[in-house]
Structure 1
């Protein structure tokens, strides 16, 4: 099964990606800029093959439980990233919302040299159950790759 984040474009401080689950496009993702040297909360996660896990503790988890009720079973964490921790796929629209995490959206915009994603909450509600199912599979693998097209 092809579970991937494929980066397709870069802005001044942003990176636009596409999320695929089982080889099928799901939504766009927004990350910070790709950097050679990591700057905390301002750098895209590295390429490679990683795992998804459910993180069921912490303040963000409690916030999402309040916001999404019974849908929420834990934060979707990308695990095994070198020099990164607590990287979640979550809601937000601009790089100000990322803190180094991918944000989901059904659409995107390009303004003043950077990307934004739109309809983030709707996209999250659609992809979340699929990501939970993957995270619960102990053999899940998730690939992050660059394929800049525009």
Structure 2
């Protein structure tokens, strides 16, 4: 993994994103949690979701309308997998989440977006649409549609 990519996409922002997603869903399976960061840490994807906010998108629509966003999706997935795992462990060790057969938050965490930067604010704004899009699919269907290769 390139050093600049890691500096830009680190466990700090990743943990905040995961907590923000968990604030909006009751629970999350571990395999599905690994798909969050490749979507939400990609600036082009976030910018597209901002432009289409409230349009009730599907993954298929995104793949058809913006194929360039998914050319490197598997590479992003593989590169961000260690950061996802590290973030989940950090959140678990700090008693923010419980990891069992699914991931559950221990309490609602409130973010002060003004202190977390513009990038996180943008990401947090698209999380509801991201969740709506993802909840239309089973986890195995998401992996198939996104062509994840492990």
Q: Do both share a fold (TM > 0.5)?
A: no
Structure with bigger RCO (C-alpha 8 Å, 6+ apart): 2
Which has a greater percent of helix?
2
TM-score (normalised: structure 1): 0.27
* Structure (1 or 2) with the greater strand fraction: 1
When the two structures are superposed, what TM-score results if normalisation uses the length of structure 2? 0.27
